[in-house]
Amino acid sequence: MIVLELKSKDLGRINSVDLLVFKYYRTSLYEFCKKYNYDALFVEIIKQVTSDYAYDKVGYKEIELPDELEDRYYEVEKKFSYGVDNRSVAERVVSLGVNWVVEDVIVHKSSSVFILTGCDNARDLLANPITSTPDIRYIGEGESFYVEVCSDFTKFMSRANRYDIRKLKYLKLEDLMLIDRVKTVLLFIDVVNKTFYRIPFRSQPYTQHDKYSKNTVTFDFDDSTQFLSLDILFESCKKHQPNPSLYSSFNYVEEDKPKKKVWVDEKEDPGYWESLYNSEPTFIRSRIPSEEEIEEYFRPTNAISLEDIADDLGVQFVELPGDTYNPFEDGDEPPEKEYIDTSDNPFMYEDNPFTGEGLPF
């Protein structure tokens, strides 16, 4: 028997995306992942975690994998053994899976102006090859561009006023811009508060020996940075229509692989989510909030505290351990960042709709 141990960080991420899915689709995270054909290993983890919300009393949960998933686990373990970090298989599966969920929420609520294009679009842990290319592409009116989704499940962005991207990911995005001349927009998602902020990708100094980690590149936010509700993002997307020529160019299927429906337009399946919400769930939730509680809960984030939310819905949020490093606890300010002048690059600024109000969302 294989037993996976999920720590508080893993459970907090699952809790955050569960509430995100429930808000926008009125269904469970488990049913959402089944609908969009997520990897069986991740679905099993979600099924066991979300069937019992008492895990936060002890800060961890053990997942006993059924016999039919043991071979799958060993294959995934072998693939992840070539990674550069020391995370456990369970942690890497959860980390990948919850980021998939955030991407899918954006794609399937965006009036079809975003599509999944990377190797991860099959939501398969064994999908190859592994690349650092963004998995979302904008194909609405105007010019196509990549979207790199940067998800935060702990409100770290709002506390530290920054986001750290892995250096390998950053270098790939820089190559896309400078070599392939493909634009990329960074879409920062605060999953807990269900807010977003977006900026066009620009070169940053990544020789940061005096900064937080030599393996990451930091994107600092201004003091005036304002995160907006995801509702605003989705409403903005409704103003744009997908461009059929762009869609056909990027949404291809390899001939040597069996065709698998991994992108679903809700218009093709009218009434699915309504019927799913009104039907009897396939697992037991400890508590389903009433419509009145939902309406009260989803007020603007500045009108209600996280503690009030937990009290109102009977939910206890999982926070990071108290000893989690925070460079601002001692009053330290981040050091001055080296500035790279790219004003001589017309691709970056002149006639570039991604530097100001030209962004289509």
What is the DSSP annotation of 127-156? -S----S-SEEE-SSS--EEEEEEEESSSH
pLDDT at 230: 95
pLDDT at 223: 82
Report CA 325 to chain centroid distance, whole Å. Answer: 22
pLDDT at 97: 95
| 52 CB-near residues (< 8 Å, 6+ apart) | 61, 286
pLDDT at 313: 53
Report yes or no: 73 and 89 within 8 Å, Cβ to Cβ. yes
CATH class of 3-313: alpha beta
DSSP string, 1-63: --EEEE-HHHHHHHHHHHHHHHHHHSS-HHHHHHHTT--HHHHHHHHHHHT-GGGGGTT-EEE
pLDDT at 51: 84
The segments of the chain whose pLDDT lies below 70 read 53-58, 83-84, 129-131, 205-214, 247-361
Q: Which two tokens stand for residue 211?
A: 């900064």
Where do the structural domains in the chain lie, given as residue ranges?
Answer: 3-313
pLDDT at 264: 42
Query: For residue range 64-93, what is the model confidence (pLDDT) as tens digits?
Result: 999 999 999 999 999 888 766 778 999 999
CA distance 81 to 85: 9
